[in-house]
Structure 1
Amino acid sequence: MQYTSIIFDLGAVLIDWNPRQLYRKIFDTEAEVDHFLTHVATSEWNETQDAGRSLAEGTELLVQMHPQHEAPIRAYYGRWKEMLVGPIGGTVELLHQLKKQGHIKLYALTNWSAETFPIAVEEYPFLDWFDGIVVSGREGMRKPTAAFYELLLERYQVDRSQTLFVDDNLRNINAAAALGIESIQFTTPEAFAEVLYEKGILQRPA
């Protein structure tokens, strides 16, 4: 198969983002961190901001629901940068190789708040290597909504039959596959590299 495009997820594929890194500084025990992220500042709540709700509105709604946790709730976005662990170096190197090779277009499709994404752009220059990035918070929709994938395909005239999509989340992988986009679930940079070698997208090192 001749591939012309690769669509990357960003979080947990190229960028290690983990709210636990912040909340381990705030709470005394891992159990307290677990409880807060499972029952208060949940992934579902965060994803609503990823889909376009403002950080201020999301924060105030959660404070009203859990006033006893006001300080750690406000820290979620007030100290959001502390959740950025860093780049996932092995995947960044693969992205660099693909960029240098030059014959495959590189895109990113990410669930990310429009208000925090500029922080990542400032922190990680490799985000400039993409030929296009579609950010959920800017578009008011997110993965796994089919229209979000279709938006990228249409905006950049991407041929889905010649495209590989990589994401760590199986929910997002299944949604892309249902749209006819070949998809692989990211686990490690090494495993992703093997896929690229086996498919002839990159040449295996001698």
Structure 2
Amino acid sequence: MTIQAVVFDIGNVLIEWQPERFFDSVIGTDRRRAMFAAIDLHGMNDRVDSGENFHEVLARTADENPEWRNEINIWQDRWLDLASPAIDHSVRLMAALQGRGIPVFSLTNFGIQTYDIAAAKYPFLRQFDHDFISGHMGVIKPEPAIYEMLESQSGVAPEALLFTDDRTDNIFAATARGWQTHLFEHPQGWADRLVSEGLLTPEEAA
């Protein structure tokens, strides 16, 4: 079926998201490893992405782990440094698709408060034709319900959606629903896929 809309994940597709790399640069690799072993920080982040309040979740986590309070405060106070930098080629691809009149949706695991913080720095986050943000939806990828919600709210048939994400579990879940998918490894590979689908010319995808 002809592709009717293109769906972008955000973390590591449009914006780099590498907390371990960031904390390596701030507190050193050894202490970072100890911190991530002591606290389920990715689980903490999933709670935020599921709709819990960012500041409240981090405050509770700091209270539960007082020996790591300073580092958890860094996660909160310097959150934009964790979600950085933008992947410029991917941002250009998003704009090029919209310039061709092709609807572009987000489908992202992102918190309510953190999305607002990020959008103040990255204006393109307010430029999707339709936003599907897990914090507002109350469910995160790869739960099947989040894909079903996008289908229902957008009115686009699963097989007419082309979705890119950097995580294989998220891709598998979309494929299981009949979506066309692309595992994002680097922006050039995504650009090549968009060209091969006839959505962009090589010049537009550069």
Same fold (TM over 0.5): yes
Q: Which runs of 4+ in 1 moved over 4 A?
A: none
* CA drift at 1:47: 0.9
| Residue matched to 1:115 | 113
Question: 1:148 is paired with a residue of what secondary structure?
Answer: helix
| Residue matched to 1:204 | 202
Q: Which amino acid aligns with 1:146?
A: P
| Residue matched to 2:52 | 53
Question: 1:10-159, aligned counterparts within 5 Å?
Answer: 10-20=10-20, 22-24=22-24, 26-27=26-27, 29-102=28-101, 104-159=102-157
Alpha-carbon spacing, 1:24–1:96, altered in 2? closer, same or farther (3 Å)? same
TM-score computed with the length of structure 1 as normaliser: 0.91
**How many angstroms apart in 2 are the aligned matches of 1:170 and 1:39?**
26
What is the total number of aligned residue pairs between the two structures? 204
Deviations 1:93-126 (A, max 9, x none): 1112111111x21100110110110111111122
**How many angstroms apart in 2 are the aligned matches of 1:129 and 1:176?**
23
Deviations 1:43-87 (A, max 9, x none): 122111111122233223322432211111122112212213221
Q: Calculate the aligned-residue CA RMSD, in Å.
A: 1.8
Q: Percent identity?
A: 30
Q: Which amino acid aligns with 2:13?
A: V
**How many angstroms apart in 1 are the aligned matches of 2:156 and 2:37?**
37
Structure with greater proportional strand content: 1
**How many angstroms apart in 2 are the aligned matches of 1:2 and 1:142?**
27
Unaligned regions of 5+ residues in structure 1, if any?
Answer: none
* CA drift at 1:25: 5.1
Alpha-carbon spacing, 1:56–1:127, altered in 2? closer, same or farther (3 Å)? closer
TM-score computed with the length of structure 2 as normaliser: 0.91
